[in-house]
Amino acid sequence: MAMRIIRWTTPRGGFDTVFKFVFFMVVIHAVSVSVEYAIVGEIGLPPLMRFALSTLTAAPFVALALFAVHRSYVLHLQLVSLASTDMLTGMKNRRAFFTLIENHIADGDQGIAMIADADHFKDINDTYGHAVGDLCLQAVAERLRDVTNPDETIARIGGEEFGLFIRRPTSEIRDLGLALCSPIQVTYDPARKPVCLTLSVGAARIDIGEPLERAMRRADEALYQAKLAGRGALVTWVAPSLPAQSGAVQSYTSFNPATG
């Protein structure tokens, strides 16, 4: 309730600021006149003079209150953003990702849940150090931004794991897999050879009414299959009862998508 009041009273621009300032001044004047009449039984000053007196008295306090509310709201938005952002990559974090996708599902939106994992990331950290590892994670984040649409959701959901929620037909998954899993070159020192890393990706279409947790488990199973298949691949989940048809196409491995 308090946040609704703050959102409503927060000035959103020049016109809105003037409107809310005038609105509160009129309300204060009306309350002042009503209280004066209730106590004294009459209004001692002419209406225009009475309004001018109310305005001069209350204007500094109304202006200060509007400024304070605006600053409080801006700080609130900044805190919300910090709480939902992964500081290294600038992406949404795990909690924000799950909240956003659950909202999409509640609204009836259908899509595909994906988990992308940086291959051999521990070896990169052990060989080149955590600073280079951080550069690699930032490069992965940039790759995800490059290959996804603005209305799709991407996030860092673990150490070297990233979550995606895409809304595309199954026919486009192959091209997305190629774009996601092609090698990423990370230059950490101009005098040295760049670090090359790939992504393994598991995908699962979210069924209508299906809990997100279940879809993410299926995507995780597909990710495990991508790792077993040699990494650097996107695998879509297939029901265990169905025959798996796998065929590597460059960095793409496809199991027939299935619901279940």
Catalytic residues: 160
* Cα–Cα dist 72/78, whole Å: 10
Q: How far apart are CA 14 and CA 4, in angstroms?
A: 21
User: How open is the CA angle 211-217-223, to the nearest 5 degrees?
Assistant: 140
Spatial distance between the Cα atoms of 228 and 174, rounded to a whole number of angstroms? 19
Q: Closest Cα to residue 112, out of 210, 249, 198?
A: 210
CA distances from residue 221 to 55, 98, 115, 189, 229 in whole angstroms, order as listed: 67, 18, 10, 36, 12
Q: How far apart are CA 192 and CA 172, in angstroms?
A: 37
